[in-house]
Copies of this chain bind each other. A is one copy, B any other.
Amino acid sequence: MIKTGVIGYGYWGPNVVRNFNSSSDIKVLKICDKNKDRREIAGQDFPNIKIVGEADDIIRDKDISAAAIVTPVFTHYDLAKKLLLNGKHIFIEKPFTSNTKQADELIEIAERKNLTIMVDHTFLFTGAVKKIKQIIEEGILGNLYYYDSVRVNLGLFQHDINVIWDLIPHDISILNYVLGDLKPVSVNVAGCGHFKRGIEDVAYLNIKFENDFNAHFHANWLSPVKVRKTLIAGDKNMLVWNDLETDEKIKIYDRGVDIETQEGIYSSLAQYRLGGMISPKVETMEALKVETKYFADCLKNGRKPFNDGIAGRKVVRILEASDISLKNDGNAVKL
């Protein structure tokens, strides 16, 4: 049985506690939140778990071998470092850290002390993302052209981070996971904020990759309608993932274009392929439950998770570059 503490009982913390607690491999000994009201709610939700106000109560608890950090990103580095130095494995919210320097240090400590860092990129454990990864790995899309994601809605405004740091970690972690090894080359960002200086509420992030592959992300807290839609196009087939659909989340279109190179004034001739569409079955298990089981398995078997510190650092690297691009008129930042 893995004995754990959970630090942070805000929006996402209750889900972590509930899933940890209902796992047969994990027991939550303590929940920590600085806010009195949140502690009261935690006490009502989980009468059998000890509720504390100071993270140190978990950091220094000898019975606890792993802790979840479910707090704002600016607190991640400090909490994670202390936990690792006290010999705890960590399960940490995305984005991993505020910059790559912090990430590097945490990765190094964990490595040295043989501890596990799992970054909670929950989406990687959804049926949809697993299916997309499988589709791409089986070559069904062929050579990839581009990745285009729209993640927009009204709210939730964060006070310490902009809409890129809030929403885009989901998409970059998914992109990295489903694409595998593709190397990013540069980042451009456009964004604007309407309420607080330095907090963009609408933003567009573009990543150039090797081989003319391009990824683009629209993140927006000011959209009247909620959209969660991703296009992934390849030369064999093209995929649309609409995460708001109950059924038919993923559609694979037998569509594309075949170019015949010809002589003469028109140097090429495009033939459009307009075939049918397939919507594969997608599993509907709660992602955090699957991830919790995976976390326990990794700890029990000493296996390194794929969503480890290095995966988390890759996401932070893009976010870090996005800040620089934003301050420089959206100009390209080489990676």
Contact = CB atoms under 8 A, between A and B. Distances in A.
Given A195-B268, A222-B233, A276-B280, 7 more contacts: A216-B218, A224-B238, A224-B255, A225-B231, A254-B281, A275-B281, A330-B332
A36 to B, nearest CB: 14
B192 A329 contact: no
A166 B214 CA distance: 20
A105 interface: no
Interface of A: 145-146, 148, 150, 154-157, 159, 186, 188, 190-196, 202, 204, 206, 208, 212-214, 216, 218, 220-226, 231, 233, 235, 238-240, 246-248, 253-257, 259, 266-268, 270, 272, 274-281, 329-332
B253 A238 contact: no
Contacts of A146: 192, 202, 222
A332 B332 contact: no
Given A154-B255, A274-B281, A277-B278, A231 B240 contact: no
Contacts of A218: 148, 216, 218
Nearest 8 interchain pairs by C-beta: A224-B238, A224-B253, A329-B332, A190-B206, A277-B279, A192-B214, A331-B331, A157-B270
Contacts of A225: 231, 240, 247, 253
14 contacts: A146-B222, A148-B218, A154-B257, A154-B274, A155-B257, A157-B257, A188-B329, A188-B331, A192-B212, A204-B204, A224-B253, A276-B279, A278-B278, A330-B332
Most buried by B among A204, A224, A239, A259: A224
Contacts of A155: 257, 270, 272
Contacts of A188: 188, 190, 329-331
Contacts of A216: 190, 204, 218
Most buried by B among A214, A239, A280: A214
Contacts of A192: 145-146, 208, 212-214
A277 B279 CA distance: 5
Contacts of A150: 150
